[in-house]
């Protein structure tokens, strides 16, 4: 082999080695970034779970005191306002963390995340729909059907808290494998089209 060919071979070998090294470095960077994003997602899910618990506590208190308001208890009326505002505020906080989650880095939750995200979004929309009704009516009076829907919203957030056992250290949450099935019943009250949406997604 003459000197020119040997030089070309050495250059090609050097380029190949450099390319391999750069690919390894890039792979390590991508792996590190993926790991960081998964930890961030896990912390956001933990926060959503904790805030869902607090939302349910206040929403339950709100629902339980509706009869007292109807009976003209002014003290209960003040307490009900506080419980409602806290529940509504927590739904806003949950929405914030919901939008921070990166679906492509959900790990084992990736397959069910679209459903969970949709359910939480519809539950939040339902709460704000109730808030608009309260403002329009100038009172917290609700029909029996509306109370049923509000209880369904509470059931959604309670199931999210119980079904997504998050961890404050950023490790992957423990997901109840039957979470979506558990959420289906209250969702049918909140959104009658939910079952059809599920079928269309499964077919897709």
Q: What is the pLDDT of residue 94?
A: 95
Q: What is the pLDDT of residue 72?
A: 58
Q: Which are the contacts of 149, defined by CB distance < 8 A and separation ≥ 6?
A: 126, 189, 190
Q: How far apart are CA 103 and CA 92, in angstroms?
A: 20
Q: How many CB atoms lie within 10 A of CB 33?
A: 11
User: Smallest Cα–Cα separation from 176: which of 166, 188, 189, 190?
Assistant: 166
Q: What is the pLDDT of residue 127?
A: 95
The tens-digit pLDDT sequence of the chain (204 residues) is 566 666 666 676 767 777 777 777 767 666 777 778 888 888 898 899 999 999 999 999 999 888 776 565 555 567 788 899 999 999 999 999 999 888 888 877 777 888 889 999 999 999 999 999 999 988 888 899 999 999 999 999 999 999 887 777 777 777 788 888 899 999 999 998 887 766 665 555
- Helix ranges restricted to H, 65-174: 66-70, 74-100, 110-137, 144-163
Q: What is the pLDDT of residue 11?
A: 72
Q: What is the pLDDT of residue 85?
A: 93
Residue 101, classed as helix, strand or coil, is coil
The burial class, CB within 10 Å (0-12 / 13-18 / 19+), for 6 is exposed
User: Smallest Cα–Cα separation from 139: which of 57, 72, 48, 61?
Assistant: 72
């Amino acid at each position: 082999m003459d000197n020119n060919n040997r030089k070309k071979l050495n250059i090609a070998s050097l380029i190949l080695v450099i390319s391999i090294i750069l690919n390894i470095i890039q792979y390590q960077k991508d792996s590190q970034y993926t790991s960081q994003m998964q930890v961030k997602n896990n912390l956001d899910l933990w926060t959503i779970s904790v805030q869902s618990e607090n939302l349910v506590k206040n929403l339950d208190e709100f629902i339980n005191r509706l009869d007292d308001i109807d009976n003209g208890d002014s003290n209960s009326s003040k307490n009900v306002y506080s419980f409602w505002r806290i529940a509504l505020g927590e739904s806003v906080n949950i929405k914030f963390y919901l939008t921070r989650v990166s679906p492509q880095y959900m790990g084992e939750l990736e397959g069910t995340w679209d459903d969970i995200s949709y359910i939480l979004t519809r539950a939040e929309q339902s709460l704000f729909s109730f808030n608009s009704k309260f403002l329009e009516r100038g009172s917290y009076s609700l029909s029996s059907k509306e109370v049923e829907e509000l209880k369904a919203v509470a059931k959604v957030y309670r199931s999210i808290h119980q079904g997504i056992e998050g961890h404050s250290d950023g490790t992957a949450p423990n997901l109840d494998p039957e979470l979506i099935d558990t959420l289906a019943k209250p969702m049918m009250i909140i959104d009658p089209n939910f079952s059809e949406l599920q079928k269309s997604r499964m077919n897709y």
